[in-house]
A = this chain, B = another copy of it.
Amino acid sequence: MRATAKAHTNIALIKYWGKRNEELILPTNSSLSVTLDGFYTETTVHFKEDLKRDIFTLNKEEITNIAYDRVTNYLDLFRNYANKQGVFAEVHSINKVPTAAGFASSASGFAALAAASAKALQLHLTDEELSRFTRQGSGSACRSIYGGFVEWEKGQRDDGMDSFAIQIAPQDHWDIRVAAVVLTAKEKDVSSRIGMKRTVDTSVFYDGWLESLPKDLQEIKEGIMACDFEKVGAIAEANCLKMHATTLGAYPPFTYWQDTTMTVMQTVQQLRKNNIPAYFTIDAGPNVKVLYLPEDEQRVLDKLQNTEGVSEVIVSKVGNGISYV
């Protein structure tokens, strides 16, 4: 009844941007990510017959706010599946995802929580089953089950049984790097959940976004299989620009970018003008992630660290999937 799992976060190269079912967390489009070894969550779940309620600590501090509710509601999925209603758990998470870096800690968080819960309850889930469970905690978390390059297939069914992630290529397939560029902290005006929903509901560009994705997905998978960095980078960067353009067509319009976001985008384009292949991607926040090849690491980091408005650059390699400790 006790297990510990470790999961890494991931960064989407083809963005997940919109739900077709809010409750089951079913996406409007398939997405594709790379798992990152630099950032992870390690979680121990211990189901105990004598507990009166769930207990949740994050980085050794007890959590009692809305995050607690989200965890305890999520554990119900596993309790129901295992017929263990009323059996509460102690959940202890250590989060090595710097939230300032704009990585959604929910991805590694729910992947580790799902894996530890399933193991503690001896559910013997397949990866596919585990990914489906994880998806219901946080959409992008379902991709963090695997290492390397991962696709989340949106699926067609209303019950979500065909909406889960699969591995496209393992961690050792290709050594690319991701630099998380942390900007001097500013507040986010619109959360990713709210922004996603407003975009789906109101953006005049949402149909154009969706229609453009099958081609992006097919081509980036070809690029990954061929280890064609320029192809993968160009598609990822264009996909990110399209995702962010959809927010400008929402009503009221909004953007996650700040002026310093644009400064880093310009720096990356400058690197390319100097023949260093580097590409950016940006999630629902102001921070920028930069993709590059190992041999260019020093030049890329020098340039990023010397860009105005950058407070920190954190480097990551391609990471592996769930592991049990």
Contact = CB atoms under 8 A, between A and B. Distances in A.
Interface of A: 203-209, 211-212, 234, 237-238, 241-242, 244-246, 248-249, 251-253, 255, 257-263, 266
Contacts of A208: 203-208, 249
A251 B266 contact: no
Given A204-B242, A242-B253, 4 more contacts: A204-B205, A205-B249, A245-B245, A258-B266
Given A204-B208, A204-B211, A208-B205, A259 B248 contact: no
A263 B263 CA distance: 10
A248 B245 contact: yes
A212 B251 CA distance: 11
Nearest to A212: B204
14 contacts: A204-B211, A204-B242, A207-B207, A241-B248, A241-B249, A241-B253, A242-B253, A245-B248, A248-B248, A258-B262, A258-B266, A259-B260, A259-B263, A261-B262
Contacts of A209: 204-205, 249
Contacts of A260: 259
A266 B189 CA distance: 12
Copies assembled: 2
B238 A251 contact: yes
Nearest to A254: B241
Contact of A262 (B212, B238, B262): B262
Contacts of A259: 259-260, 262-263, 266
Contacts of A206: 208
A213 to B, nearest CB: 9
Nearest to A216: B204
Contacts of A238: 251-253
Nearest to A203: B208
A70 B251 CA distance: 41
A208 B208 CA distance: 7
A220 to B, nearest CB: 14
A123 B162 CA distance: 71
A205 B245 contact: yes
A242 B208 CA distance: 13
A238 B205 CA distance: 13
A214 to B, nearest CB: 12
Nearest to A307: B259
A210 to B, nearest CB: 9
Contacts of A241: 248-249, 253, 255
Contacts of A244: 248
Nearest to A247: B245
A266 B246 CA distance: 19
